């Protein structure tokens, strides 16, 4: 089967699009970064430095009307994700939207309905599921190497108190749980294949209307879960899965090659630890390639909207428990 090159456009010249997803689309096999929507020509120049043939549209609507665009990437502020994803689908474009897809789980139902009506692919940019570290962790757990899982602990933190940053703006859908709690919760759902049964504890600290620190405990089917998520702590990220026969630790599971190197540490005996490293994998590029493959051959996408809805539902549960 001849694979069609998917022509991409980006809605907005966000820093993250410039630093990560724009270069990833440009580098991915089967993808071409073709257009950018921004009303500021100077913001387009850094994109054109690595994609010199990039067309620049002065509005999001103009890009969506471009017949030479097959798919769009949406890095807009969180509160705009649902509406612009639906607009893009209605314009006949496949959509990869930055996380979180929505600010409440039931809002994703609107996107699912629009996706189904359009017959197109729409997904949240939950890139970690495309990294081989995550796939390997899922394989180890599913294969029974750890035995019965008893407890999972996740930490994800960084420090950002810049009030001009949208993460710290309530009206833009900011907050630590939407920004990085999605990783702390979604990663465990992906690796174990289990869903939270109930939130047993949630302590949430707020500043200026956004959550900046959260400690969460939950019961999954057969194991306990604890997480710390914060935008006001020294950077740290780790997943520890503790079973009856072993312990699996994922160093740098969320920002590999930025925070640190992605590694798996598997302990199955006294003073016996196996380490696997993934220095070359770029999960942003792998995400784009998986998306393009699904568009081309109709294969199942590794992170469908239904999975994203489940993670958002857990975030909703945590907010309710911490109220």
Ordered DSSP codes for 15-43: HHIIIIIHHHHHHSTTEEEEEEE-S-HHH
Of the CA atoms within 13 Å of residue 125, those in its CB half-sphere come to 26
Residue 208: DSSP 8-state: T
Instruction: Quote the tokens at residue 264.
Output: 């798996």
| Predicted pLDDT at 86 | 98
CA distance 226 to 154: 6
**Per residue of the chain (323 residues), what is the pLDDT tens digit?**
568 999 999 999 999 999 999 999 999 999 999 999 999 999 999 999 999 999 999 999 999 999 999 999 999 999 999 999 999 999 999 999 999 999 999 999 999 999 999 999 999 999 999 999 999 999 999 999 999 999 999 999 999 999 999 999 999 999 999 999 999 999 999 999 999 999 999 999 999 999 999 999 999 999 999 999 999 999 999 999 999 999 999 999 999 888 789 999 999 988 889 999 999 899 999 999 999 999 999 999 999 999 999 999 999 999 999 98
| CATH no. for 6-126 | 3.40.50.720
Say which residues have a Cβ less than 8 Å from residue 203's Cβ, sequence separation at least 6.
Answer: 213, 214, 215, 216, 322
Which of 28, 16, 102 is closest to 71 using CA atoms? 28
Domain-by-domain residue ranges, the chain? 6-126, 132-280
Burial class (CB in 10 A: 0-12, 13-18, 19+), 230: buried
The continuous run of DSSP H or E covering 111 comes out as: helix 105-118
What lies within 8 Å, CB to CB, of 106 at 6+ separation is none
- 132-280, CATH topology level: Dihydrodipicolinate Reductase; domain 2 (3.30.360)
Residue 209's nearest CA partner among 319, 310, 312 is 319
Reduced to 3 states, what is the DSSP secondary structure of residue 257?
A: coil
Using the Cα atoms of residue 199, residue 204, residue 208 and residue 210 in order, give the sign of their dihedral: negative
Spatial contact of 228 and 239, defined as CB atoms under 8 Å apart: no
- DSSP characters over 266-322: EEEETTEEEEEE-SS--HHHHHHHHHHHHHHH-PPPSS-HHHHHHHHHHHHHHHHHT
User: What is Dmax (Cα atoms) for the chain?
Assistant: 62
* Burial tier of 308 (Cβ tally within 10 Å: 0-12, 13-18, 19+): buried
pTM above 0.85, yes or no: yes
Q: What is the DSSP string of 69-101?
A: --EEEE---GGGHHHHHHHHHHTT-EEEEPSPS
Q: Is 165 helix (H, G, I), strand (E, B) or coil?
A: coil
- Size of the chain, expressed as the number of residues it contains: 323
d(CA 322, CA 214): 9
Phi, psi of 246 (to 5 degrees): 180, 175
Which pLDDT does position 126 carry in this prediction? 98
């Amino acid at each position: 089967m001849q694979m069609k090159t998917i022509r991409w456009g980006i809605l907005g010249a966000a820093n993250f699009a410039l630093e990560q997803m724009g270069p990833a689309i440009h580098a991915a096999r089967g993808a071409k970064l073709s257009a950018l929507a921004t009303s500021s020509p100077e913001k387009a120049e850094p994109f054109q430095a690595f994609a010199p043939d990039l067309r620049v549209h002065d509005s999001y609507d103009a890009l969506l009307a471009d017949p030479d665009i097959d798919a769009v990437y949406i890095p807009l502020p969180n509160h705009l994700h649902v509406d612009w994803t639906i607009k893009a689908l209605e314009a006949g474009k496949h959509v990869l939207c930055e996380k979180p897809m929505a600010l409440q789980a039931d809002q994703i139902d609107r996107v699912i309905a629009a996706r189904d009506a359009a017959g197109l692919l729409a997904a949240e940019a939950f890139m970690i599921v495309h990294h081989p570290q995550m796939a390997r962790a899922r394989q180890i757990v599913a294969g029974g190497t750890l035995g019965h899982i008893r407890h999972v602990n996740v930490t994800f933190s960084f420090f950002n108190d810049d009030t001009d940053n949208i993460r710290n703006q309530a009206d833009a859908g900011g907050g630590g749980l939407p920004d990085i709690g999605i990783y702390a919760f979604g990663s465990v759902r992906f690796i174990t294949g289990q869903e939270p049964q109930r939130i047993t504890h949630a302590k949430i600290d707020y500043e200026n209307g956004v959550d900046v620190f959260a400690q969460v405990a939950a019961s999954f089917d057969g194991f306990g879960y604890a997480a710390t998520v914060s935008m006001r702590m020294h950077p740290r990220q780790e997943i520890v899965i503790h079973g009856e026969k072993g312990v699996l630790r994922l160093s740098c599971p969320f920002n590999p090659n930025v925070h640190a190197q992605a590694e798996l540490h598997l302990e199955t005996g006294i003073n016996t630890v196996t380490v696997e490293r993934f220095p070359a994998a770029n999960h942003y590029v792998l995400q784009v390639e998986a998306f393009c493959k699904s568009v081309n051959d109709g294969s199942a996408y590794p992170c469908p909207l239904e999975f994203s809805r489940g993670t958002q539902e857990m975030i909703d549960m945590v907010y309710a428990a911490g109220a």
